[in-house]
Chain A
Amino acid sequence: MTTAVATAPSLGRRLSNGLYRRPTLLLLLLLAPPLMWLGIVYLGSLFALLAQSFFSIDEFTGLVRREFTLSTYAQLFSPANVDIVLRTALMAAAVTVAAACMGFPIAYYMARCTGPRMKAVFYLAVMLPLWSSYLVRVYAWKLILAKEGILGWFFAQLHLTWLLDAVLALPVIGGASLSVSYIGMFLVFLYIWLPFMILPIQAALERVPPSYLDASSDLGAHPGQTLRHVILPLAFPGIVAGSIFTFSLTLGDYIIPGIVGSSRLFIGQAVFVHQGTAGNIPLAAAFSVVPIVIMAIYLTWAKRLGAFDAL
């Protein structure tokens, strides 16, 4: 027995004892790698980007001049660039509102009215599109929306071509065919991002206790009143979570506006064109600051509405 006590404890044991006595050190060691990731890779690249936006570009040679200037931001506020920002923000807002309106009933049905088997089918149906390639789905939509595409054929079969033409004749959002109009682009965005709206709302609705609904009707509320005063407020954090996804994803996307639509640039495309093809990294950086600012405003507004109170 004495020999066992005399044996020096192994290195691992000593380390573990040492760490046990210094909990702060242990915590620091455990947190250092993820914190370094967040600090250096994540925030570092963000700040490198922000710094770039204060440089400018030599207009002929295309080389970046590394001197502090606000001229790049002045360029950002030229009318054509403001158009790009407004166009993108409006599209993102429209897609978000439509996705919430479509997503809520589906999510409600999934959460409240289905048995376990049906719920699995719904989950599968909502997630299934996410299993295939994003590009394939967008190109498929280009064919669906084309002038000589499936939707056009469908309208012709129903003798409703006049209706389609009337919709496409609308100013601004119309165009020569669905695939070159804002309406078409809106439909594609709505399709692509809808699952990101349904799932958070569904999760929020699942958490509403059925007893609340019973209590509400026991106290004489109409179903409509229950929806307005009980369900909606409780599901609101889910709607906001979903809207953050659909809004920010639409704000940054550059592939859909390049394939469907009328070649009017969106923020993502402007970043891509200025960075990738024109080598104008400062202006690209300034452009990518825009979604950050818009999202900051959006989140502040959502917080005011009490969306994060339940967190």
Chain B
Amino acid sequence: MHPTPVKAAVSAALFFTAAQPVLSAPLTEIGPGEGVVDIVAWPGYIERGETDPNFDWVTGFEEATGCQVRIKTAGTSDEMVALMNEGGFDLVTASGDASLRLIAGKRVQEVNVDLVPSWNTVDERLQDAPWHTVDGKHYGVPYQWGSNVLMYNTDVFEEAPQSWNVVFEEMTLPDGNSNKGRVQAFDGPIYIADAALYLMHHQPDLGIKDPYELTEDQYQAALNLLRGQREIVNRYWHDPFIQIDDFTNEGVVASSAWPFQVNLLVGKEQPISSVVPVEGATGWADTTMMHVDAPHPNCAYMWLEHSINPKLQGDLAAWFGSVPVVLAACEGNELLGDEGCDTNGLGNFERISFWRTPVTQCATQEQCVPYYRWVTDYIAVLGGR
């Protein structure tokens, strides 16, 4: 028997409705958990005590909610965007240079903050941050923030360097030798913003107002600075452990770095310290965002609430060298200690330019150079062009 045309049409219609992405409004109430939640995260961001049993903020959640947490780590923001474009995940801990791209690409959905009871405990400076809030809608819950720092060797610098110029311009260091071949820079296009931030203070006539919003002229000036830097950089870093090795065996004495490397090197009793120089620094502010077709939205909302509890926030800050988004986490956390938030840079908030995706239509200038050009041009700078 052949299916009648009507039946065929109905089943086809059903099929297409089922296959359509659900473009509905956010959930209005949380139902029972689906048993699983899939999260794309930075390495070290979601720990279940496997590396160090003291650092575990997953097991308790799994027992309380019955939602198994499955983690996929990603090493760069671009990789996170690529994974979310593929789909099949519920949540992503996106930095500011990925979050707006995800929103523009319609890969993430609006979050109903009423379903996250602890929302009001989030640091007020972050609640409406422009990297996750578009047209008054929240596309995520802040997770953690931190700054890039200038890591240096204390045998060479008896006093902390005051400026990023030690990694940008050829000069003689306090130990009498040139810095050529002894400094490093970050191996990612977003590093162009570090150059722009430096120029913002040293060449004010360029008129840079925001290191992520550069006109063609400002952008070319930043690239020129980076081309000069290529001459003195021995190797660009992206793997924290290779950078640690280079500071130990390769005679590297200064570089932009994360607090993560500084903590590890200080832990190994190496002569290493870090500073945020006068120009300020770039930093990251990460937001947990939900995929537009999240297969397990209820468990995802439960994780969002769990992600901003003070215990998790404090433990994570101690583990990663970052700063909690819930200020209550700074007090009384055993792993972080009472000084922990200050050590990790809580007081630097105003001096940090948080990572954002550079876009053509920008607020402070008429027209800006978009991110895709940053990618190709930075590869060219690394190649010496």
Chain A 147-167 near chain B by CB (<8 Å), digits 1 or 0: 111000000000000000000
Least CB distance, B376 to chain A, in whole angstroms: 7
Tell which of B85, B251, B357, B372 touches A147, judged by Cβ atoms closer than 8 Å: B251
Determine whether the beta carbon of A262 is less than 8 Å from that of B234: yes
Question: How long is the Cα–Cα vector from A180 to B357 in the complex, in angstroms?
Answer: 31
Chain B 58-72 near chain A by CB (<8 Å), digits 1 or 0: 000000000000000
- Asked if B182 is at the interface of the complex by the 8 Å CB criterion, the answer is yes
Chain A 115-156 near chain B by CB (<8 Å), digits 1 or 0: 000000000000000000000000000110011110000000
Determine whether the beta carbon of A80 is less than 8 Å from that of B383: yes
Contacts of B214 in A (CB 8 A): none
- Asked if A39 is at the interface of the complex by the 8 Å CB criterion, the answer is no
Of A198-206, A218-226, A272-280, the stretch lying at the interface with chain B is: A272-280
Contacts of A142 in B (CB 8 A): 245
- Asked if A44 is at the interface of the complex by the 8 Å CB criterion, the answer is no
Determine whether the beta carbon of B78 is less than 8 Å from that of A61: no
Chain B 212-247 near chain A by CB (<8 Å), digits 1 or 0: 000000000000000000000111100100100100
Interface residues of B in 339-385 (CB under 8 A from A): 357, 359, 370-372, 375-376, 379-380, 382-385
Tell which of A75, A146, A270, A276 touches B249, judged by Cβ atoms closer than 8 Å: A146
Tell which of B78, B85, B234, B371 touches A60, judged by Cβ atoms closer than 8 Å: B371
- Asked if B275 is at the interface of the complex by the 8 Å CB criterion, the answer is no
Contacts of B82 in A (CB 8 A): 62, 276-279
- Asked if B105 is at the interface of the complex by the 8 Å CB criterion, the answer is yes
Contacts of B273 in A (CB 8 A): none
Least CB distance, B212 to chain A, in whole angstroms: 14
| Dominant SS among interface residues on chain B | mixed
Determine whether the beta carbon of B383 is less than 8 Å from that of A83: yes
Tell which of A60, A270, A277 touches B104, judged by Cβ atoms closer than 8 Å: A60
Interface residues of B in 50-84 (CB under 8 A from A): 75-76, 78-79, 81-82
State whether A279 and B187 are in contact (beta carbons under 8 Å apart), knowing that A80-B379, A142-B245, A262-B234 are contacts in the complex: no
Chain B 138-158 near chain A by CB (<8 Å), digits 1 or 0: 000000000000000000000
State whether A277 and B234 are in contact (beta carbons under 8 Å apart), knowing that A60-B101, A80-B385, A259-B242 are contacts in the complex: no
- Asked if A112 is at the interface of the complex by the 8 Å CB criterion, the answer is no
Interface residues of A in 258-285 (CB under 8 A from B): 258-259, 261-265, 270, 273, 276-279
State whether A62 and B385 are in contact (beta carbons under 8 Å apart), knowing that A148-B249, A261-B235 are contacts in the complex: no
Question: How long is the Cα–Cα vector from A262 to B181 in the complex, in angstroms?
Answer: 10
Enumerate the 8 nearest inter-chain pairs by beta-carbon distance, A residue then B residue, closest first.
A176-B181, A279-B82, A61-B105, A80-B380, A59-B372, A263-B236, A176-B234, A146-B249
- Asked if B296 is at the interface of the complex by the 8 Å CB criterion, the answer is no
State whether A277 and B76 are in contact (beta carbons under 8 Å apart), knowing that A62-B85, A80-B385, A148-B250 are contacts in the complex: yes
- Asked if A84 is at the interface of the complex by the 8 Å CB criterion, the answer is yes
| Dominant SS among interface residues on chain A | loop
Chain B 97-140 near chain A by CB (<8 Å), digits 1 or 0: 00001001101000000000000000000000000000000000
Contacts of A209 in B (CB 8 A): none
Determine whether the beta carbon of A277 is less than 8 Å from that of B75: yes
- Asked if A78 is at the interface of the complex by the 8 Å CB criterion, the answer is yes
Question: How long is the Cα–Cα vector from A78 to B370 in the complex, in angstroms?
Answer: 18
State whether A78 and B376 are in contact (beta carbons under 8 Å apart), knowing that A59-B370, A61-B105, A148-B251 are contacts in the complex: yes
How many chain A residues touch B (CB < 8 A): the figure is 36
Determine whether the beta carbon of A263 is less than 8 Å from that of B382: yes
Question: How long is the Cα–Cα vector from A147 to B182 in the complex, in angstroms?
Answer: 10
Determine whether the beta carbon of A143 is less than 8 Å from that of B181: no
Contacts of B239 in A (CB 8 A): 258
Determine whether the beta carbon of B376 is less than 8 Å from that of A80: yes
Determine whether the beta carbon of A149 is less than 8 Å from that of B249: yes
Contacts of A80 in B (CB 8 A): 376, 379-380, 383, 385
Least CB distance, B330 to chain A, in whole angstroms: 33
User: Could you name 14 residue pairs across A and B whose Cβ atoms are closer than 8 Å?
Assistant: A60-B372, A62-B85, A78-B376, A80-B380, A83-B383, A83-B385, A147-B249, A147-B250, A147-B251, A176-B181, A180-B250, A263-B187, A276-B82, A278-B82
Least CB distance, B100 to chain A, in whole angstroms: 9
Known: A148-B249, A262-B235, A264-B383; 7 extra A-B contacts, CB below 8 A, are A61-B105, A78-B380, A143-B249, A149-B249, A180-B234, A263-B236, A279-B79
Least CB distance, B303 to chain A, in whole angstroms: 25
- Asked if A40 is at the interface of the complex by the 8 Å CB criterion, the answer is no
- Asked if A175 is at the interface of the complex by the 8 Å CB criterion, the answer is yes
Question: How long is the Cα–Cα vector from A134 to B171 in the complex, in angstroms?
Answer: 39
- Give the residue name and chain of the A residue nearest to B81 (CB): A62
- Asked if A79 is at the interface of the complex by the 8 Å CB criterion, the answer is yes
- Asked if B180 is at the interface of the complex by the 8 Å CB criterion, the answer is yes
Question: How long is the Cα–Cα vector from A229 to B293 in the complex, in angstroms?
Answer: 70
Least CB distance, B87 to chain A, in whole angstroms: 11
Chain B 248-268 near chain A by CB (<8 Å), digits 1 or 0: 011100000000000000000
Interface residues of A in 39-69 (CB under 8 A from B): 59-63
Interface centre among A146, A148, A180, A263 (most CB of B within 10 A): A263
Question: How long is the Cα–Cα vector from A279 to B79 in the complex, in angstroms?
Answer: 7
- Asked if A177 is at the interface of the complex by the 8 Å CB criterion, the answer is yes
Determine whether the beta carbon of B384 is less than 8 Å from that of A264: yes
Contacts of A59 in B (CB 8 A): 370-372
Contacts of B249 in A (CB 8 A): 143, 146-149
Contacts of A250 in B (CB 8 A): none
Determine whether the beta carbon of B384 is less than 8 Å from that of A177: no
Contacts of A175 in B (CB 8 A): 181, 234
- Asked if A179 is at the interface of the complex by the 8 Å CB criterion, the answer is yes
Determine whether the beta carbon of B242 is less than 8 Å from that of A180: no
Interface residues of A in 57-100 (CB under 8 A from B): 59-63, 75, 78-80, 83-84, 87
- Give the residue name and chain of the B residue nearest to A143 (CB): B249
Question: How long is the Cα–Cα vector from A270 to B182 in the complex, in angstroms?
Answer: 26
Contacts of B250 in A (CB 8 A): 146-148, 177, 179-180
Least CB distance, A264 to chain B, in whole angstroms: 5
- Give the residue name and chain of the A residue nearest to B98 (CB): A62
